[in-house]
Amino acid sequence: MVSPCVNICSIASSSGLCAGCGRTIEEIAGWAAFSDEERHAVMRLLPARMKTIGPSTSPATTASTELTA
């Protein structure tokens, strides 16, 4: 399953988003149980979320890692 995880796991207290992938804690925890449609919906949101977080060394827009996280 495709995951935006880039192994930079740090939730920003100001936004509640992971600094590495842009997901919320709830999205990270539920990722494996999400349907493909739910995962794709979250993936579409990530580029805009990452812009609000700021520059990252591994932006979610380029992450396509085969993980179960």
**2 lies in some domain:** no
Number of domains in the chain: 1
**26 lies in some domain:** yes
* 29-53 pLDDT, tens digit each: 999 999 999 999 999 999 999 998 8
pLDDT at residue number 6? 95
**28 lies in some domain:** yes
**38 lies in some domain:** yes
**32 lies in some domain:** yes
Please state, in angstroms and rounded to a whole number, the distance separating the CA atoms of residues 29 and 6.
15
**1 lies in some domain:** no
* pTM of the predicted structure, to 2 decimals: 0.74
3-class SS of residue 66: strand
Please state, in angstroms and rounded to a whole number, the distance separating the CA atoms of residues 38 and 15.
21
**22 lies in some domain:** yes
Q: Which domain holds residue 29?
A: 7-57
Query: Hunting for tokens 């936004």 — which residue is that?
Result: 15
pLDDT at residue number 1? 80
